[in-house]
Amino acid sequence: MMISPAGLKIIEKLEKSGFEAFFVGGCVRDVLMGKTPGDIDITTSASPADVMNIFEKTYPTGINHGTVTVVENGILAEVTTYRCEKGYKDFRHPDGVEFVSDISEDLSRRDFTVNAIAYNPERGIIDNFGGQKDIENKVIRCVGEPDRRFSEDALRMVRAVRFAATLGFEIEEKSLMAIRKNAHLVANISKERIAVEFEKAVLGDFPEKLVLLRETGLIKHLAENGGTIDFSLIDKLKDLPKIAPLRFAVIMNDGAADFLKELRFSNKTIKTTESLAAGMGISTPLEIKKYITKNGIENAKLLVHINSKKYETELEKILAEKHPIFVKDLKINGSDLAEMGITGAKTGKIISYLLEKVWEKPSLNTKGDLIKMIGEVAE
């Protein structure tokens, strides 16, 4: 099984230095499913200090929980020391992180069986919890007792839905029941951590699984504005490209901004989502041109994925024929007007009027025609 040549080098180096090291988590799961792995996670018996000594280029990205990012051949890998977690008093932060010497102990603290498989070319696959069988049966199942695992770290419930939506798996019945029971604990989790999982779920190949957020009651506790999501529109998502604001706009429409703000999404994401939501359903050339002046051409292009065929045809025509859209496209400008003795507030009024005229009829955008129309503007 080949997961990542750069990752393999890291594992070999750690083993040469006398430590154990395995691929673990998403990269093993993905390769077993025949998919290209995303990020590379490695688990090792070496301490963070050892890891930083052994490799030339490292960053202590999560040193508090034993994670060091190692750069090998330009590839980043997260190398984490075997650990277990002590108690959780607040449903989110382990009271302390304890490093351990045994891979099995490390695997038992992981969230789901499909994420708790370790692999190393010499030692083979370590799968103490039936992760391979669950991959085969497409099941998300907690490692250990679901009720306890979710009350330890409530984010795991959102992650369960995220993996359902990215992998297309079913959440196993006992785990699902435990989510219903513990859903309220999600209110304790930082909004940023929730946002990461929510976005991954929305961008998944099986976004229809997001209905699980409603069915389990998680949505009420995820955010105060969770009610913003229109679950009847979830089915539309899978035909859309994996662009977060596009998918957000479709399922949230008007209230998107409040929900996204609450989850601390970037201003850029919020603004783009709002712009796209504002353009949903438009189709006439006039509407499109007005939209472009307010929201830009990039957003107008994204709207072809949500709006009607007519919208797409009209937009293509506007762009191909280079219709005048912006004030700068007008064949007359402020200094031309000034030369004609028109100044002050009147200038803006005339420009807006002329722009609307050429939006409706692009061929009117000649200096001669525009000058003729100036007289139509009321004093």
Q: How is residue 377 written in tokens?
A: 């503007």
Its sign, for the CA torsion 223, 246, 212, 33, is: negative
DSSP 282: -
Contact assessment for residue 311 and residue 319, using Cβ atoms and an 8 Å cutoff: no
Amino acid making up residue 257:
A
Site string for ligand ATP, 39-58 (x = CB under 6 A): x-x-----------------
By CB under 5 A, is residue 37 in contact with Mg ion? no
Contacting ligand ATP within 317-346 (CB under 6 A): none
Residue closer to Mg ion (CB basis): 26 or 48? 26
- Percentages (nearest 5) of helix, strand, coil residues in the chain: 60, 10, 30
Site size for ligand ATP (CB under 6 A): 12
Task: Give 116 or 318: the residue with its C-beta nearer to ligand ATP.
Answer: 116
Q: Which is nearer to Mg ion, 194 or 315 (CB)?
A: 194
Q: Is 144 left (phi over 0), alpha (psi -120 to 50) or beta?
A: left
Q: Which does 208 bind (CB under 5 to 8 A by kind): Mg ion, ligand ATP, none?
A: none
Residue nearest to Mg ion (CB): 26
CB of 38 vs Mg ion, minimal distance in Å = 6
* Smallest distance, ligand ATP to C-beta of residue 93, A: 11
Using CB under 6 A, pick the residue from 25, 48, 245, 324 that binds ligand ATP: 25
Least distance to Mg ion, CB of residue 39, Å: 4
Which listed option, ligand ATP, Mg ion, none, makes contact with residue 110 (CB within 5 to 8 Å by class)? Answer: ligand ATP
Interaction between residue 7 and Mg ion (CB under 5 A): no
Q: Is 153 in the site for ligand ATP (CB under 6 A)?
A: yes
Strands 97-99 and 40-44: unpaired
List the beta strands (DSSP E) in the chain.
Answer: 21-24, 40-44, 58-62, 67-72, 75-81, 83-85, 97-99, 118-120, 124-126, 139-140, 170-171
Which one of ligand ATP, Mg ion, none interacts with residue 153, CB within 5 to 8 A by kind? ligand ATP
Tokens encoding 285: 């050339």
Site pattern 106..135 for ligand ATP (x: CB under 6 A): ----xx---xx-------------------
| Phi, psi values for residue 134, rounded to 5° | -70, -30
In whole angstroms, the minimum distance from the beta carbon of 198 to Mg ion comes to 16
Which phi and psi (to 5°) does residue 92 adopt? Answer: -145, -40
* Rounded Cα–Cα distance for residues 17 and 297 (Å): 55
The residue among 171, 162, 115 whose CA lies nearest residue 138 is 171
State the Cα–Cα distance between residues 199 and 25, nearest whole angstrom: 19
Does position 185 bind ligand ATP by CB under 6 A?
no
- Closest separation between CB of residue 258 and ligand ATP, Å? 27
Say which entry of ligand ATP, Mg ion, none residue 156 contacts (CB below 5 to 8 A, set by partner kind).
Answer: ligand ATP
Per rule CB under 6 A, is residue 83 in the interface with ligand ATP?
Answer: no
Asked whether position 26 contacts Mg ion by CB under 5 A, the answer is yes
- Compute CA 12 distance to the chain's CA centroid, rounded to the nearest angstrom: 33
Residue nearest ligand ATP (C-beta atom): 26
**Least Å from the CB of residue 24 to Mg ion:** 9
How many residues form the binding site for Mg ion (CB under 5 A)? 2
Q: Which of residues 109 and 323 has its CB atom nearest to ligand ATP in the complex?
A: 109
From residue 232, give the alpha-carbon distance in Å to each of 80, 170, 263, 280. Answer: 41, 20, 22, 16
Question: What do you get for the CA distance between the two ends of the chain, in Å?
Answer: 78
Judged by beta carbon distances under 5 to 8 A according to partner kind, the member of ligand ATP, Mg ion, none in contact with residue 247 is: none
Which CB atom, from 113 or from 365, has the smaller least distance to ligand ATP? 113
Q: Side-chain half-sphere of 158: how many Cα atoms within 13 Å?
A: 29
Residues that bind ligand ATP (CB under 6 A): 25-26, 38-39, 41, 110-111, 115-116, 153, 155-156
Summarize as ranges the residues that interact with Mg ion (CB under 5 A): 26, 39
